[in-house]
Every structure is written in structure tokens, then in C-alpha cells.
Chain A
Amino acid sequence: MGLINYNIEKYSPQQLVVIPLVLFVLSLVVIGQTFLATGMPVTPGIDFSGGTAVTIITTDNNDQLHATFAGYPLSEISDMNNGKFLKFGSMDDAKYQTLAQLISQKYPDAKIDQIGESFGKSLQSQAAIALVFSFIGMAIVVFLSFRTFVPSAAVVLSALADMAMTAAVMNIIGIPLSLGTTAALLMLIGYSVDSDILLTNRVLKRQGKLNDKLMGAFHTGMIMTSTTLAAVTALFVVSWFGSVQILMEISAVLLIGLVADVLNTWLTNVGILKWYILKGGAR
């Protein structure tokens, strides 16, 4: 591919690994801070912490909305293409009923979702379990398919770095952890190792010069990532245009994850693999 001129040959393993390593550590710091503040690696959204989310189609500005919902715990207003996305804190059932009534009167075209605090908590622990099990399962598959420690560990480490960087960016730009973004993270666990598996496979199981194999893998791998990027970008654009909050969040998380994946596959994973081969770890 002519667009990207990336010469893996030029750099030593240490040079390759240094940038993602720094980013990885920074990500862990961001995640750690969030964890201390909220008890979760990414700030939990309404699905997990409880509350009410409302999508309305309106031209009212924020002041008007604050006035309309003065009696309610309105915590956040975000702009959408042609409407607003409102978040409310927890309230008791009677209060919620009056809110629902108010909304259906003023904005009949609304979408409302309300999650109770205890239900959110139970979802949250299940989501955490799902993420951990997914990751472990993925690691097992990787180790089973390569059966050599260093290359397998490199793939798993890249995936871990993907997750960490994605989580950190989510915190920084304010995408909450919801059921939808949990789904996106799980998808990333599965998909982010695609290109790592291709790379490792090419390098370990094919004959030829190391640098040729790396470059071949890079060509194929970049196309793979760019097709997925293209599909997800399409989703992001459409959901932004159509103000579909949950799709926007999912596709944003996937985009961040894919970019992190490029970094971690072609710097982290390549770096470790190159070091392993140069050390004489494989034929």
C-alpha cells in the first residue's frame, strides 16, 4: 500500500516497543485514577450506575431544558445532530413517573430508559466477569494455536494494551461504560488479535527472510484493519448523523480500539517478535 511507508527493518526491537510502552503506562495511570474514583476501570454509565437516559428531538437550548426539568436531578445534557441526550440521576419511582409523564407530554417522540441502582450494580459485576472470562478465553486460544510462550505472550500483551488504551481514551473523552460499550470492548478482545495472529503465523510458520515476512504481514494486516475501520467509520458517521447515541458510542469505542490495535500490532507485537527471532527463538 502506497499511503503508509513504514520500514520495520529500520528499527530495533527496543525502538519499536518504546512508544506503545509509554502509552500503555499512561493508560494504566488514567485507568487507575478512574478506578479509584468509581470502582470501575471506565466510568460507568447509566446502565451500570442507575439513572435515566432520555433522547429527545428538539430545538430547545440547554437553558430551556434546565428550566423544563428544574424539579428533576438532570445531570448532563449532550448535543446530538438534531436533538439532545439527557441524563438524570437516581430518583424514586413516583418522581420517575411524573418525569416520564412530563417528557411524553412535551416531547412525544422521546426514547426513555431508566435503570434502577441495584439492577445496574448486578449488571456491572456480570459485565466485569464477562470481560475477564473473555480475555482469559482469548489468551487460551492464542496459546493453544502457537504453543510457544514468547510469541503467544506477545499477542496477549498487545491485546491487553489495546484494551487498556481504549479504556483510557474512553475515560479521557468521556464515553461511559454501558451495555453497548461493553459489547464493543468484547468485540475488540476478539477482533484485535486478528492481525496479531496473522503476523505471528506468517513469521513463525513461513519460510523466508524475516523482514520480507514482516513487510508481507504488514501489507495484509493494514488492509484488514482498514476494511474494519472503513465499516466502523461508516457506522459512526451514520449514527452521528442520525443521533443514535448507543451506536455512536459503540462505533467510537471500536474506532479507538482499532487505532490502538494498529499501534500495538505493528510496534508492540512486531517488536517482541523481532527480538524473539533475532535471539534465535525460532528456525
Chain B
Amino acid sequence: MNQKELKALVTDWRVATLIVLVLISVIAIFPHFDENGNIATNLQYGLDLQHGAWIQLEMKGEVVGFTTDRQLDDFISNLSREADAEVILIDESHLEIRKSYTQEELSPIFASAGGAITSYNIGVSKATADDVKRILENKINAMGTKDAKVNTLTGLNNVARYVRVEMAGVDMKQAQEIVGKQGKFEIRVQTTGNETEHVVSGDSITSVQLPSQEPPGSDKWGVSFTLSEEGATAFQEAAIRYGATKDPENHYLQMILDNKTVYSAPLSDDLAVQLETQKIRQLYASTGAGKYGSNQASELEIHLRAGALPVDVSIAGSGGTSAPLGERYKMMAVLAGILALITVGFVIYYRYREPGIVLPMVMINASELLILLGFISLIRFQMDLPTIAGLVAVVGTGIDQLVIITDEILHEGKVPSPNLYLKRLTRALGIIIAAAATVVIAMVPLALMDLSTLKGFAIITILGVVVGVAVTRPAYGKVIMQILSK
């Protein structure tokens, strides 16, 4: 191939796209030496390829479809009392019950509260699951764990039953301690200047309500919470002693979670007057108006619970990989990839005996792997063992389709005319697209479901097929024509 031909080949859009993608991928993977002189990349690894632990929690609650002929508010408060649990309205026909009940146990409770069950799913609403996720993330971040991931597993019916926590660099025991640990919450009052004094701690808060508007319907948001008898007494005494009731503006009340101030405001004038003469158990912390106020209120609700989750959870599964085993698995994965490429190369050589065909094939194949790895780095996807298997399968089937192209083009005689060549290439691509479509469609259910760790695997496989059909096969078609026409 002379220089002019080479230039024409490289500037062909199919080949150019491939080259650009490969370059971007190398940058994305960013192979370099870390401070210890070891080879490092931007690739992220799942918990079976590195030291870390995972915990799967089951959220104890259920989402129940219902009908009632009573007033909705009455029905819900009835139900909450009968079931001795928090009951939350998700939409006009679904309730979330934050306590573990079977459908058989719930039916009579609904009946006596004046309603009936129309559907029953174990789990909690998406919103509650998001709260759980946020609380766990806050908690883990507060511990300074460097690399953690919290995922809720939401089913197709929008009910979330499980939440999975993955933490790199810790072992299982530490992980369970972190997840199980309560935050340290306290309320302090400003004395003079910036000095503050302890008023009550988190265990004095007996319950926390959902964010609400005060007065109702006003768009002014806040969270009410209840203090215990002793807590209310301590609160009143402190407010009087430090002058917060006489001069609220200079004696702010502060809420502190794990040494961070999460809320700070003066007593309202009404409350200040009331506290002079009586202790108050039901308090209300206002957070402001509109969307901002409502967001702040949700945050504060979480803080008031001091890292306690809105629903009870139990451990549904857990596991961990030690550092040496993770290292070894990683090495095996690299080895498997390289060995797969080499053996595939040998098989191809055995068939075609023509370096001019074999070399481009293997290189195109390797470039496909590279592009996938680049994409994996870009989206910061955590590679795990099933993903490795998927990648190796991409190598195997990627070559398959290059074989289809080569054989279609070589069909009956060696050098097809450009016209015939194009016709054959189109036919080959037709076969490939049909085959690719079956792989994609076979993986779609898995990509849509939250089937634990397999979702990522499915996405990577689909992506591999798409990259193949859209980029590497057309480029190969161009390259092989150039080579064969000599």
C-alpha cells in the first residue's frame, strides 16, 4: 500500500471514526504510572475485582393499593393507629405502610379502618427509597469512606424492596458498622456571642413528622417533631436560663449532627412567650417558603432522624472480597482478555493463512475491546467478573462478524469489482444487523430490570454490539476491500 492509498484509507469516514474513537478511548482509560510506579488506569472495578464489601438491606414495609369510602385523612389516621405504623399516601390509590405485615395480616386491619386492599407489594415507594439512599450516603460520607455506592433496587412496579451498599477498601465488619451506626444529634442554644450550650440530644426526640406547610396550604415549609417529657423540660429550662425566651434574636437554637450545624433559627415570638410558662413537647422548625423551603425541610427531616432510616431494614445479603483475591482476579481478567485475543488470532490464521487478512481482523477486534473499555472508563462503570465474561464474548463474536464480512466479499472469486463489493458488503451487514439485533433484544430485559449486579453486564454487552455494528464492522469492510483489491 503506497502513501496515497494509505491516506485515502485513513481519511475514509468509517476508518477515521474508528481511529478517533480509539484515541478518545485511550485518553479515557488513561494508562499511567501511579506514585508507586505501578501501572494504573481510570478503570473502575466492582467489588469482586478489588478489596471491598457490600451489604444488601431489605426495607421492611409494603406498598398497598386501597379503596375506601371514608374521608381519606380519617382513613389514613385510622389505619396508622390500627396498624401501629407510619402510613403514607403515595398517590390517590396507593399507601405505604412502614412496618412489616403480610397481606393476610393487613386485610382485617384495612377492614376495621374502613377500606379494602386492592394490591400488595413488599417494599417502599420510590420517594422513600430515595430518602433511604440519601441517608445512607450522608452517613457513609460522614465516615470519610472514599469510594461508596448506594443503589436502590426498584422493580418494574415502582416499588423498591432492597437497597445495596457497596464500599471499596473496607471489610465486611467495618461496612456493617458504618451502615448500622447512628449519627450524633443535639440541639444547642446560643448563650453569649458565639458560645453555645447543650440543650437536648437526639434521643430526646421521640418522633419526627414529614415536612409540612404551616399554616397548611401556605407554601411555608417546615418539619414538626416531638420531644420526650424530660426533653421538653430540659428545652424549657435552657430556653429560660440562657435568655432565649426574652431575647430570641440573640439566642438562636442550633441543631447539630456529627459536629455540623444543620439548622439554626431563633424561637418564634409565640413559642418564646409560651415557653415562659409551660413546657412544649411538639415543636416545629420552619425552613422557608417555596421549593427551597420544601427541600430544606426534607433535608432537616433526615437530620432530625439522625441517620435513622424511615423504615426498618434487615440484612438480606452481604459479602466482601479481600485485597489479595481482588488483585488476583484482576490479573486473571487481564490474562483472559489477552489469551482470548491470541487464540482467536490463531483460529483465524488457520482459516485464512493470509496475514493481510488476519492482522486487520485481530486489530479491529482489539480496537473494539479498547473502545468498550474507554466507554466503561468514561461512564465510570464498575467492571465486575460477569462484565469480563461479557467482554471476552464480545471478542469472540466480534470476530464472527468480521468472518461473515470477509466470506461474503470473497464469495466466488477473489477480487470483486467495487460495485459487486458494495452489494456483498451490504448483504453481509444485513446478516450482521439481524444477528446483532437478537443479542441486543436478549439483553434488554436485563438492562431494564434491577437484577442486582447483572444490569451493568447487560448494558456493556448491548454497547459492545452497537459499537461493533455502527463503527468497527463498516471500518473493517473498508480496510479489507483496500487490502483485497491489491
Contacts and interface: CB of A to CB of B under 8 A. Distances in A.
Contact of B393 (A123, A141, A198, A254): A254
Nearest to A250: B389
A127 B455 CA distance: 11
Given A110-B325, A228-B393, A247-B388, A140 B441 contact: yes
A23 interface: no
Nearest to B319: A113
Interface in A159-213: 179-180, 182-184, 186-187, 189-191, 193-194, 197-198, 201, 205
A150 interface: no
A138 B441 contact: yes
A64 interface: no
A235 B434 CA distance: 27
A65 interface: no
Interface stretch (A29-37, A69-77, A218-226): A218-226
A137 interface: yes
A166 to B, nearest CB: 14
B452 to A, nearest CB: 6
A116 interface: yes
Q: Mostly helix, strand, loop or mixed at chain A's interface?
A: helix
B347 A230 contact: yes
A238 B335 contact: yes
Interface string B334-355: 0110011011101110010000
Q: Mostly helix, strand, loop or mixed at chain B's interface?
A: helix
B347 A123 contact: no
B340 A201 contact: no
A278 B128 CA distance: 63
Interface stretch (B72-80, B299-307, B403-411): B403-411
Contact of A234 (B173, B331, B340, B445): B340
B451 A246 contact: no
A186 B442 contact: yes
A250 B453 CA distance: 15
> Which size bracket describes the interface of B in this complex?
35 or more
A57 B395 CA distance: 30
> Which size bracket describes the interface of A in this complex?
35 or more
Contact of B389 (A104, A184, A201): A184
Contacts of A39: none
B317 A235 contact: no
A267 interface: no
B386 to A, nearest CB: 5
A222 to B, nearest CB: 9
Contacts of A246: 48, 385-386
A281 interface: no
A251 B324 CA distance: 23
A5 interface: no
Interface string B247-259: 0000000000000
